[in-house]
Amino acid sequence: MTRVRELLADKPDRIIQIGPQVPVLEAIRLMALEGIGALLVVEHGRLLGIVSERDYARKVILHGKASANTPVREIMSSPVVSVTPEASVAECMSLMTERRFRHLPVLDGETLVGVVSIGDLVKSVIDEQRREIDQLQRFISS
């Protein structure tokens, strides 16, 4: 079974993050610029929360708040559910399905080492199934 550390090895080292005091409008701009759906909220190297497009829609737009004046800390999801690099893809998928979120920070102790998305996990499962099918086809052919 594939581990999170293996998924992170194939991803860029850059972890896109934002501070808790930054206006929500800047968070949304950064997500759009980077083509991502969530940002990790970090202060002084410590993971405080996660803010997603869903948080924006439900906690800013629906409550009539101003994006330019609302700090990320007011709408971020916290505490954050996280996993270690040794977690399996299956464990992550189960956790994300059960809790209904699409981004999962990865912590090694207190150190933020990455984030995996549901897309990363699905791709991993598909790749693993492809390898198994290829092995079975080679076995049958020989």
Instruction: Give the model confidence (pLDDT) of 115-125 as tens digits.
Output: 999 999 999 98
Instruction: Kindly tell me if the per-residue pLDDT of 135 is higher than 90.
Output: no
Measured CA angle at 126 (ends 120, 131), to 5 deg: 125
Paired tokens of 32: 């759009």
**CB count in 10 Å sphere of residue 24:** 25
Instruction: Kindly tell me if the per-residue pLDDT of 142 is higher than 90.
Output: no
Give the 3-state secondary structure of residue 115.
strand
Instruction: Kindly tell me if the per-residue pLDDT of 5 is higher than 90.
Output: yes
pLDDT in tens, 58-101: 999 888 888 899 999 999 999 999 999 999 999 999 999 999 99
**pLDDT value at position 13?**
86
**pLDDT value at position 129?**
85
* Length of the chain as a residue count: 142
Residue written as token pair 């999170």: 4
DSSP state of 69: T
Rounded to an integer, the average pLDDT of 35-62 is 94
134 — pLDDT class (breaks 50, 70, 90): confident
Domains of the chain: 4-141 (3.10.580.10)
**pLDDT value at position 104?**
96
